[in-house]
Structures are given as C-alpha cells and as structure tokens.
Homo-oligomer: A and B are copies of this chain.
Amino acid sequence: MTAHDNSSLPIGVFDSGVGGLTVLKAIRKALPNENLIYLGDTARLPYGTKSPASIARYATQATAKLLEHDIKMLVVACNTASAVALELLQEQMAPIPVIGVVEPGAMAAINARPGGSHLVLATEATVRLGAYSKAITARDPDAHVREQPCELLVALAEEGWTSGNIADSIVRRYLDDAANDAFIADSIILGCTHFPLLRDTIAAAVGNSVEVVDSAGTTAVVVRDILRARGELAESTEPGTLRLLATDGITRFARVGGQFLGEPLTAEDVHLVDL
C-alpha cells in the first residue's frame, strides 16, 4: 500500500473508557481533516486498579478490534494502558505506528520546567509502574519526580463534580498526601486522561507558580509529526469523520463522554462492539 493510499485511513484512538476523549479532542483540533475512530473499553473499565496482566490482555483485545477498521496509526489514549502495555502493542501492531500518552506528557512537563520537580497525579497502576518517573529522568536526569495515586479523581470526573468544595477538598487532600516532605513541585502532570476536567480546580489548589501540564496537546503534535514523516497526513480539506465505539453502556458513554469531548453526545453517536 502506498503512502497516498494510507492518508485517508482513520487514526485509531483507544482508551479504557471515556477519558481518552480529552486526547481525541486535542487531535481533532490539531488535525481537523483526519478521520478518527475511538474505542472505549467501558465493559472492563477502570484499568487503573487492575493488574498489569489483565490490562495487557484487555488492551490487546481492544486494539485488535481497531485494527479491523484498517487504521493508519494507533494512539493509546490511556495512561495506564500506555504505562503497562505500550511496547507489547507496538510489537503486535507493527508496522502501524503506535504511541502512548506517557511520553508526550513527560515531554510536556520537561519543556515547561527543565530540571524541575514534577508531581504526577495518576491511577494506582500507573504509579506502581513508575512510568512517568522513568520517561522524565531518561530525558532530563536533573529532574525530580514524585507520583501520587488519586483514584477518587477518576470517579469525581465521571460524576461531573469537577469544581466546588468537594472537588477542591479531594484535590487538596491528595496534594497534602504527596507533600509530606521536602519535595516542592513546580509542575503538576495530569497523568490520567480524566484529570484535565479537574484542571481549574487543581491549578487553583497549587497556585500560579506551578505549571499544570497534560498529555493531550503534546500527543496531538506527536501524531501530526509521525504522520507527516510517513507522508500519511490526510489530504482532504473536508472535516474528518468521527466514529465512536464502546464495549458496554453506550447511553452512559454518551452522557459522560460528552463532558470529556466538550460537545453533547447521544447514544445514537456510539456503536456497541463485543470483544
């Protein structure tokens, strides 16, 4: 297949649920002519509290389903799946390029605060693997990294309680838990795709001197750079199509997902698939 043939194929975006729609939103903004297909594995979410073996198995099944749709590139828009299974998925999907969100998030933090002290807010599984610590210190040996598991922030974002007293109290409690010694963060990394919904609350809690970064924008830049290097950017000048797949609960996917995508969705917009 020539580069020209591939350019009209969709980019696949995979997440454990709706959180990856924050990444899809950034890709769509940066590359409005690309066709996109998103799969949320809502039947098995959340990945963040599961074991690496289960996460790897679920991610393999989900990405095999996206492969059936003849994608030209895969974005693993889930920090936990990126931390656990990126290399495995790269092997399985070759020669299709596969990127995760941990490396782009790490690069965003390094660019914002070279040699800085980074606090990563993430799920239990992502923290346990230390994926952000490894990705940052490999590129910036002067950096300091601390990782804080924040499971409740996932439920908070899904419930839509993203501002106000309760969200503020929970964010401050996790920040307090992370700050029990001499570590003073000058960047906060939103290491779960749910957390951009809580960005304002987190930014208010940490104050103006701390940079709050996430993976979404940097991931979109990496997608563009890779497709450009392969000569596979969409050549159409029409707005790209968007196809949404979920493995369970399309009504809930539409209701909660609309908050993440930043536009209303109905159950008719989402297609149920069986893995």
A interface, CB within 8 angstroms of B:
42-45, 49-51, 54, 124, 151-152, 154-156, 158-159, 161, 165-166, 169-170, 173, 248-249, 252
Contact = CB atoms under 8 A, between A and B. Distances in A.
Contact of A50 (B158, B159, B249): B249
Nearest to A125: B249
A83 to B, nearest CB: 15
A161 B166 contact: no
Grouping DSSP codes into helix (H, G, I), strand (E, B) and loop, the A interface class, with mixed when no group exceeds half, is: helix
A49 B51 CA distance: 20
A40 to B, nearest CB: 12
27 contacts: A42-B50, A43-B50, A43-B54, A44-B44, A45-B49, A49-B158, A49-B252, A50-B249, A51-B248, A51-B249, A54-B248, A54-B249, A124-B252, A151-B155, A151-B158, A151-B159, A152-B156, A152-B159, A152-B161, A155-B155, A155-B156, A165-B169, A166-B166, A166-B169, A166-B170, A166-B173, A169-B169
Which 5 residue pairs spanning A and B have beta carbons closest together?
A155-B155, A51-B249, A54-B248, A166-B169, A152-B155
Contacts of A154: 155
Contacts of A166: 166, 169-170, 173
A156 B124 CA distance: 15
Contacts of A124: 252
Nearest to A149: B159
A54 B252 CA distance: 14
B152 A248 contact: no
A239 B124 CA distance: 36
